[in-house]
């Protein structure tokens, strides 16, 4: 990773709070040590205590194959990921756009299963520093049983869980069970979420608030909606928890704009999934993933 890319995303001051003194832009060993095997909350704290911002990449497990996913996790960790979202391929991913839906289809066709993904997490967590947040829909959790699902992913080394298709009112029991196993349940707030409901989401979420930047599904966008700035401000007025913005972040300029608007982290999914999964060979896909991660990671340079 180029030096400018490796230090950029966290350089912006956090609005509207007072600016922090800048530190050496090279990421210190102490900061990375805190993130090693840390919870999602602890990883965010380490980043923000350094006056920086979190880079949160997403990939779909098993696309194009499980061995490539292992290599991709290492690439993203080496590129400076603070938290990694790992999608469990699912046949009916309602919140995902065509790029991630296609990735899930390829993964399932290539034999990816929940058990294999959990085994992969178990193998890889000792090899990477960034905590893994499992992204899955509720049906696989229900089929396995909430307690067993949370126990299994925790035993494998995962630190967080994100379930986009359960409403706030049904998250409390899941969050309680997840917390018992050391898993933080991350909740989403959208552009159509009323402020009072967003406040409840912010109170209930663990780790950070996932702020969806657009109405609809994930996907590559040409620009980030300007309303995101207002959404960040509204959330900031009701919570001190970190706010990370995702959906539609596909270019370096998007990352820069989001941190300029005061977000604490940037979540990048479809752009990385496309780079990895749509290449002619797995090797070319991994190279494209590395390049795209470094490009976007450098997007907040001021």
Instruction: Find the helix or strand (DSSP H, E) in which 232 lies.
Output: helix 227-236
Q: How many CA atoms lie within 13 A of 16 on its CB side?
A: 10
DSSP state letter for 214: S
Q: Are strands 132-135 and 243-246 parallel, antiparallel or unpaired?
A: unpaired
Classify the phi-psi angles of 265: left when phi > 0, otherwise alpha if psi is within -120 to 50, otherwise beta.
Answer: beta
**What distance in Å separates the CA atoms of residue 221 and residue 181, rounded to the nearest whole number?**
37
Closest Cα partner for 158 from 37, 32, 35, 31?
37
Catalytic residue among 85, 152, 251, 294: 85
Residue indicated by tokens 């300007």? 226
Question: How large is the angle between the packed helices 171-180 and 195-204, nearest 10 degrees?
Answer: 20
Structure tokens at 159: 């630190």
**What distance in Å separates the CA atoms of residue 249 and residue 120, rounded to the nearest whole number?**
27
Annotated catalytic residue 96: yes
Annotated catalytic residue 165: no
Catalytic residue among 63, 77, 82, 96: 96
Three-state secondary-structure class, residue 185: strand
* Cβ–Cβ < 8 Å for 186, 210: yes
Which residues does the annotation mark as catalytic? 85, 96
């Amino acid at each position: 990773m180029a030096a400018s890319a490796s230090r950029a995303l966290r350089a912006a001051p956090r609005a509207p709070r007072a600016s922090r003194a800048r530190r050496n832009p090279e990421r210190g060993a102490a900061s990375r040590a805190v993130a090693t095997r840390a919870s999602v909350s602890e990883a965010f704290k380490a980043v923000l205590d350094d006056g920086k911002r979190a880079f949160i990449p997403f990939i779909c497990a098993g696309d194009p194959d499980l061995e490539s996913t292992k290599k991709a996790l290492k690439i993203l960790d080496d590129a400076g990921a603070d938290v990694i979202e790992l999608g469990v391929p699912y046949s009916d991913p309602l919140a995902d756009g065509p790029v991630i839906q296609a990735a899930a289809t390829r993964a399932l066709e290539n034999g990816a299963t929940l058990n294999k993904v959990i085994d992969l997490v178990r193998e890889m967590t000792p090899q990477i520093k960034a905590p893994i947040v499992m992204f899955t829909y509720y049906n696989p959790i229900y089929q396995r049983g909430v307690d067993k699902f949370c126990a299994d992913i925790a035993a494998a080394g995962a630190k967080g869980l994100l379930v986009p298709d359960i409403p706030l009112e049904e998250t409390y029991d899941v969050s309680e069970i997840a917390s018992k196993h050391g898993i933080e349940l991350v909740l989403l707030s959208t552009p159509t979420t009323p402020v009072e409901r967003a406040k409840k989401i912010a109170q209930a979420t663990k780790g950070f608030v996932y702020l969806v930047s657009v109405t609809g599904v994930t996907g590559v966008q040409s620009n980030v909606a300007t309303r995101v700035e207002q959404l960040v401000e509204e959330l900031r007025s009701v919570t001190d928890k970190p706010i990370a913005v995702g959906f539609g972040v596909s270019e370096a300029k998007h990352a820069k704009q989001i941190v300029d608007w005061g977000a604490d982290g940037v979540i990048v999914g479809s752009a990385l999934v496309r780079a990895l999964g749509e290449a002619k060979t797995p090797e070319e896909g991994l190279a494209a993933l590395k390049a795209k991660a470094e490009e976007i990671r450098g997007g907040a340079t001021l």
